[in-house]
Homo-oligomer: A and B are copies of this chain.
Amino acid sequence: MKNKKRTTIYDIAKKLNIAASSVSRALNNSDQVNEATKKLIIKTAAELNYKRNTLASNLRKGQSKTIGVVVPFINQNFFSNVIAGIEEASYQKGYNLIICQSNELQSKEIKCVNTLINQHVDCIVISISADSSDHKHLQNVLDNGIQLIQFDRVADELETLKVINDNEQASLEAVSHLIEQGYKRIALLEGPQNLQIFRQRKAGYINALKKYGMPVLDELIVENAWTKELGAEGTRKLLDLVEPPDAIFASTSDFSALGVLEVATAMGIKVPSELGICGYSNEAFTEITSPSITTIDQFSVYMGKTVANLYFQEMGNKDDTETVPKIISIKPKLIVRSSTKRNG
């Protein structure tokens, strides 16, 4: 516990009476070291319990083999799954992850990003916070020559690599499904419109209504119904209308949908016959509520893997000529469950 001194390549070199450079080469399996010497060095290194000092190595090499990740909250299902995916893919390539949470605060997000720049990470992966307005700090990442990949919640105007869900398409399918089940007045619980993902979900909702020649009614659109509580609150308002909706698309999250379900249950409104409910994200619990909740799966772990692999792929192609900002769109999947199954 006390031996602060770690063995370095110099210790090994001294012990074997050779140069540190040879030790370094041997430990990096360079072929300009004699096989026998190499073996001896490796053996000695093990005996002395040598551990390479990655800091020194990285400093010299000018890269850190580290990816920085910034998400609003680590312990939100979607994000923790994405992170798990990133970790899995990164680990295989020998990369490490530094994780930060922005707590949905731009101010903290900026600090996180700066820390990661200081740490000389090779790449920063971010899903921007809800209150983010400008993106200087992200531009700064690029200016420092660090690869930037945005996922899910992206700042559209920034030309970076992006991995997103096709939110509009998914919403369109969800609402179309509701319409096909015979629901006539479909309400929308929408999220903060400064985030593109929520604008897209709203667009999908509107497109679906238009496609089927149905009117878009402002009174059926509830702003900022993000959490379970806000979802519940919005639902109460909606159901108090003279002409209440017969279906609610909680485009913000499954938590919001859960709020809807609880209010409906409390008011004795039958789901799905009197009210259809559709959530977003396919949280684990949507399967076990009664009735189970129709929702949209975002393939979050896969999304994480995609993000990481996109980086490695981009690394591989050294032709700096081709700096096309790539966007990978993952098609989410509508999971139809009891909460919207009116026919058959």
Contacts and interface: CB of A to CB of B under 8 A. Distances in A.
Nearest to A323: B1
B119 A99 contact: no
A222 interface: no
A37 interface: no
29 contacts: A1-B145, A1-B323, A2-B145, A2-B320, A6-B145, A49-B140, A49-B144, A51-B114, A53-B120, A54-B119, A55-B58, A55-B59, A66-B98, A74-B83, A74-B84, A75-B77, A75-B83, A84-B101, A87-B100, A91-B100, A91-B108, A96-B100, A96-B115, A96-B119, A97-B98, A98-B99, A285-B288, A288-B288, A289-B289
A10 B73 CA distance: 38
A301 interface: yes
Copies of this protein in the assembly total 2
Interface in A126-165: 140, 142-145
Interface string A312-340: 00000000100100000000000000000
Given A51-B114, A120-B55, A145-B6, A97 B96 contact: no
A209 interface: no
A303 interface: no
Contacts of A284: 285
By size class, the interface of chain A is: 35 or more
Interface string A283-325: 0110011100000000001000000000000000000100100
Interface in A197-214: none
Contacts of A114: 51
